[in-house]
Structure 1
């Protein structure tokens, strides 16, 4: 599979047979710009406009935006109910974590997770090989809490998202830089334009994979 980051919390996962999954497409106010996108599956973690702009995807697709068990295009998908804050959604509402089984690799996208997971949520999410996790704080978990979630889910590859980059301009001041998460984790980090993973090579990418915007 290939994993490409489009900034913020938006990714495209492309399976070996060409099935495309778009995660949390955003509106253009963020400073990032989405290219023309097509996908077979679009998953959105919650209903905030910087995560649910499904109009950015131009073709027909299956839209998944709630907890549950799904199977689309031969891909197993599990949505797990979580919250956007530390007070059971009282301030920012609910958030869905999605775990996708693609090419026999489990890719977990945390959306705008706002808290450390409880034991039931960890069990529901299940095995995680690649974790796409917010680390910038402000609107989500911060670097310290992100490290705890990594310990809970025990992924092989960790891809940080939702942190400050130059593309965000002044809006980026609401987030911490990715370096804070890397330092807090104590793990090795490598930069990649995109990831190309399979069951045979995934151990070679162990640790933090920082994907480049564009």
Structure 2
């Protein structure tokens, strides 16, 4: 009984740490962009996050760490390994197209493990309110190993925090339907697979990015510099490109560029002592 009471106290305390008020986002409404591009590079992923901002760290392949002002940590396409730093995320999301996007054995200490698929192609539905961040998903289909289609086997996850809508397209295998685009709403920041074939051909991915009208696009799932450069060579003049060799950026509503910007991040695992 004493152990149960201790567990409940710890749970309530942890919840209070992240129970800060979330600034309302505008995913479903088009918002005005503000002029200027002011990304703040941090020396450590553990440094305090600026007010009304979200810190993004590219970890590997399709995994990103999203960190809020209150210290909430969320990892996308979690594989079970984020580096040598001792991190237990508050929540992780996963997709199961390949083992580089999920793990069958997440640490049981992680409070929220969100699978982007359901049993037998039934899809998943998530609407997780963590106080500072709301996590939701829009299911999409994926190809299976036999060349067929697994209905609703992938999820596009949307993270609403600091007034921003941040989307992770996951292992997207088709252009979303009008209904799926409507469910996503306006994404201020989007992580997009740009491998050019294992997920979507580049023409289709550029079509998706054009429809989303995101202010900041972060390429992922690009394997080599060659595939990354091939993507960058295909984007039109309507996109700006920032490629400074960094692994992190901090973004806020006030720093969103007025022109769609591809912000290249370099993957880097979280290191102990960083």
Give the TM-score normalised by the residue count of structure 2.
0.65
Partner SS state of residue 257, structure 2? helix
Unpaired runs of 5+ residues, structure 2, are 1-53, 116-123, 269-274
Unpaired runs of 5+ residues, structure 1, are 167-175
1:177 equivalent in alignment to 2:235 = no
1:128 equivalent in alignment to 2:177 = no
Whether the 8 Å CA contact 1:25–1:54 is kept in 2: the answer is: no
Aligned to 1:154: 213
Aligned to 1:34: 83
1:113 equivalent in alignment to 2:172 = yes
**Deviation (angstroms), 1:178:** 1.1
Aligned to 1:190: 242
**Deviation (angstroms), 1:35:** 3.5
How many pairs are equivalent?
Answer: 199
How far does the alpha carbon of each residue in 1:39-97 deviate from its partner, in whole angstroms, 9 at most, with x for none?
101111336321112746584321112333221243112211102249xx934661000
1:64 equivalent in alignment to 2:122 = no
Partner SS state of residue 175, structure 2? coil
Deviating runs (4+, > 3 A) in structure 1?
A: 33-37, 54-59
**Deviation (angstroms), 1:200:** 1.2
How far does the alpha carbon of each residue in 1:148-202 deviate from its partner, in whole angstroms, 9 at most, with x for none?
1101111000001111227xxxxxxxxx611122122222211233111111112
Whether the 8 Å CA contact 2:194–2:221 is kept in 1: the answer is: yes
Q: Distance in 1 between matches of 2:104 and 2:57?
A: 17
1:165 equivalent in alignment to 2:224 = yes
Q: Distance in 1 between matches of 2:60 and 2:198?
A: 16
Aligned to 2:266: 212
Aligned to 2:65: 12
Aligned to 2:29: none
Q: Distance in 2 between matches of 1:177 and 1:92?
A: 26
